[in-house]
Chains A and B, each alone.
Chain A
């Protein structure tokens, strides 16, 4: 076009990053260090996205901290393990890229930020018994972070509704046996840390990454919602969006990197794509698939769209986060003794102690004869011994159980309260109690995996995950289908560049994090897989984008 109208831009940069989770912050850092002028926009008024509310752990196979602890690992083991978990639906090239590049990303991040990760030697992969799986070491703890280091940005750091209520490292949580022995926690120390401004888990990870950006004079543009990718001559050259009610546009001379998170809070996208009915997501409500929609409009190929990083959700009615009902991710309750999960017929249907991704899959089982999902609704059943030892939700051990928790003086009475077949539930409990005495669960193999036992009670014999449900009163809470983020999205190549259905690169467009098609398919290799892969592809995308012409 000879007489192209000159565009008016509100901001101009080389590389524009959309989203401020771990993927986005890492991408911005990598692009800056590669010489690019970087801008970063965040839709909400808080920094960190789903990463900030997470455990903040990175899963990085063959990382240098494992070597420091004398734990062996190899490329071959990691690829073998992750490929098996992908269940034939992953992207093998990207799995290999991740395994090859994630240790480099780790060294880069540690070199450019205040982060110094600790290898969690006792935190097993989610299937450590599979070939290539490890009993510990691949998951990395970001430690604590003094949020006062952020200055005026301290209040903009997103806080986790779960982990933000305390200030302990993942290493400490492991050593102190937080889940099975909650009263072992040094509450006074944790209160003092909170008062001083220390944050942990995802808050620590995001805080350190944000600090590194601020030190480089990259101040995120807050409450900026991207709506549209701007294309010129077949290349993405910027983003149009809104901030404070006004339309704004940003020019990206080299590239736009989408790191805007998943679509778990968008009911329409959920129902179109996901294999299960995601009703109670655990991430911040701002994850509505904005980046995915923008990429679809410009012709990006999609992948892994049926999958999410599934997680069971428990609710305390009236508890809110960002103005929406808070759905509490349940990582441990169901693994502890004196508990089972049953379906509406009163039957167990899963190894309750499995990792949070895999435990969800049978929830969505479909009965083709009745066209029903027999495992929904599902209920977590516990007895008074469970309450006495472990508490429930935010109820500490031995404390009064609130009235929103269903209660019965007998198992049969509880069944009638929650609308479950009483005869079946009584039979299920009788069977389970026999398994608990024998220490073996022949139906679902609960407690056989090292992973199960990691979240069990080491004092419970003979099986750390099995304890009879026998002491009245009996309690039930509904277990909902949750997710810490979807993992389907924009397909990318090994540089993080978005591609079309024919494999051609969409020039000027990259993706990382949960807006990107997850290479792991259905699998969840270990704690920190979400963030490990997000930061790795953020790192690759940022570095490559900075070098674009």
Chain B
């Protein structure tokens, strides 16, 4: 079963990360291929994604179910394909930064255009404030966010689909984690 895991570091406390992550509406658009989602209950939600396996893309409908809701540290979920023969699940973990478990991320993972925009908008104020941006950019990491995701295609063609699915999972996981981190850092940088 293709399974990937990716950890990113954040320069904000992990309870703030949880405050953002616990509401899926906050980060849903950060998912690769996101089209739509619908929250059905406290545990269940429907997701429509444009799934890309590197050669072609298809609209995939998934049902997600939260099986463990242990904020602010951990959320476990399962995934079930509604229009494709796939299933999977994952774990999201948040916690204080441990240098031994995760390498230090670059100073800022925000897209450069976004960073420049923020810098331009607040240059005057940040200068007056003694270079807040500079200080924020070099502030040490305080928390880490880990996504572990596994997906498996079933049926006779499963081995073929999984061969294509595997390489596509890690970039999707990295993108989600990094976009959340970039978003939170951008908010945090506002004076």
Q: Tally the A-B contacts, defined by beta carbons under 8 Å.
A: 57
Task: Name the 9 nearest CB pairs between A and B, nearest first.
Answer: A191-B159, A318-B59, A194-B163, A161-B56, A191-B163, A159-B55, A195-B163, A187-B159, A164-B55
- The contact of A320 among B56, B85, B166, by CB within 8 Å, is B56
A187-B157 contact, Cβ under 8 Å, with A194-B163, A195-B166: yes
Looking at chain A's contact residues, the main secondary structure is: mixed
CA distance A326 to B83 in the complex (A): 18
A166 within 8 A of B: yes
CB atoms of B156 and A183 under 8 A apart:
yes
Nearest CB of B to A204, in Å: 15
Number of interface residues of B (CB under 8 A): 19
A190-B159, A191-B158, A326-B56 known; 6 other A-B pairs, CB under 8 Å?
A159-B54, A183-B156, A191-B159, A321-B57, A394-B157, A399-B85
User: How far apart are the CA atoms of A55 and B162 in the complex, in Å?
Assistant: 23
Q: Does B135 contact A (CB under 8 A)?
A: no
With A195-B166, A399-B155 already in contact, the answer to whether A190 and B57 are too (CB < 8 A) is no
For residue B164, CB closer than 8 A to chain A, the reply is yes
B residues less than 8 Å from A187 (CB atoms): 156-160
| Complexed CA–CA distance, A62 and B29 (Å) | 58
Q: B125: CB under 8 A from chain A?
A: no
Pairwise interchain contact A160-B55, C-beta atoms closer than 8 A: yes
B20-64 near A? 1/0 per residue, CB < 8 Å: 000000000000000000000000000000100011111100000
In chain A, what residue has the closest Cβ to B167? A195
Report Cα–Cα, A188/B160, bound state, in Å: 7
Q: Which residues of A contact B83 (CB under 8 A)?
A: 402
CB–CB B156/A316 < 8 A:
no
Q: CB-CB < 8 A to A319: which residues of B?
A: 56-59
Residues of B with C-beta under 8 A to A194: 160, 163-164
Chain B nearest CB from A166 CB (Å) reads 6
Is the beta-carbon distance between A321 and B56 smaller than 8 angstroms? yes
Is A192 an interface residue when CB atoms closer than 8 A count as contact?
yes
Q: Which residues on the A side are within 8 Å of B158 (C-beta)?
A: 187, 191
List, in ascending order, chain A residues with CB within 8 A of B164's CB: 165, 194
A155 to chain B, nearest CB (A): 9
Contact A320 B57 (CB under 8 A): yes
Range class of the A interface residue count: 20 to 34
What would be 19 A-B contacts, judged by CB atoms less than 8 Å apart?
A: A159-B55, A161-B56, A165-B164, A166-B160, A187-B160, A191-B159, A191-B160, A191-B162, A191-B163, A194-B160, A194-B164, A195-B166, A316-B58, A318-B59, A319-B56, A319-B59, A321-B56, A321-B57, A396-B157
CA distance A396 to B155 in the complex (A): 8
A185, B158: Cα distance in complex, Å: 12
A: residues with CB less than 8 A from B are: 159-161, 164-166, 182-183, 185, 187-188, 190-192, 194-195, 316-321, 326, 394, 396, 399, 402
Least Cβ–Cβ distance between B150 and chain A, in angstroms: 16
Chain B, Cβ-Cβ closest to A191: B159
Distance in Å: Cβ of A150 to nearest Cβ of chain B: 15
* Contact present for A318 and B58 (CB under 8 Å): yes
Question: Which of B59, B85, B157, B158: most chain A Cβ within 10 A?
Answer: B157
B3, chain A: closest CB distance, angstroms: 14
Tell me the bound Cα distance from A192 to B56 in angstroms.
20
State the Cβ distance, A317 to closest chain B Cβ, in Å.
Answer: 8
Closest to A155 in B: B54
Q: Check A165/B55 contact, CB under 8 A, given A187-B159, A194-B163.
A: yes
Q: How far is the CB of B157 from chain A (nearest CB, A)?
A: 6
* Interfacial chain B residues near A183, Cβ < 8 Å: 156
Complex formed: what's the CA distance from A318 to B52 in Å? Answer: 12
CA distance A159 to B52 in the complex (A): 13
List B contacts of A318 (CB < 8 A): 50, 58-59
List A contacts of B85 (CB < 8 A).
399
Cβ-closest chain B residue relative to A195: B163
The residue in B58, B158, B162 that gathers the most chain A C-beta atoms within 10 A of its C-beta is: B58
In the complex, which of the residues B59, B160, B166 has the most CB atoms of chain A within 10 Å of its own CB atom? B160
Q: Would B156 and A396 count as touching, CB distance under 8 A? A: yes
Question: Hey, which chain B residues are within 8 Å of A192, CB to CB?
Answer: 159, 163
CB contact list, B133-191 vs A, under 8 A: 155-160, 162-164, 166
Chain B residue at minimum C-beta to C-beta distance from A53: B55
Residues of chain A contacted by B57 (CB below 8 angstroms): 319-321
Chain A residue at minimum C-beta to C-beta distance from B54: A159
Q: Can you name the residue of chain A whose Cβ is closest to the Cβ of B158?
A: A187
- Report Cα–Cα, A366/B50, bound state, in Å: 39
Q: How far is the CB of A38 from chain B (nearest CB, A)?
A: 29
Residues of A within 8 A of B155 (CB): 396, 399
Report the minimum CB–CB distance from A391 to chain B (whole Å): 10
Residues on B with beta carbons closer than 8 Å to the beta carbon of A396: 155-157
**A165: which B residues are within 8 A, CB to CB?**
55, 160, 164
Residues in chain B near residue A166, CB distance under 8 A:
160
Min CB distance A483 to B, Å, is 19
Contacts of B163 in A (CB 8 A): 191-192, 194-195
Q: Are B56 and A188 in contact (CB under 8 A)?
A: no
Nearest-neighbor residue (CB-CB) of B153 within chain A: A191
User: Which residues on the B side are within 8 Å of A188 (C-beta)?
Assistant: 159
Query: With A195-B166, A399-B155, A402-B83 known to touch, is A190 a contact of B56 (CB < 8 Å)?
Result: no
**Cα–Cα distance between A166 and B163 once the two chains are bound (Å):** 10
CB contacts (< 8 Å) of A190 on chain B: these are: 159-160
A182 to B157, CA, bound (A): 10
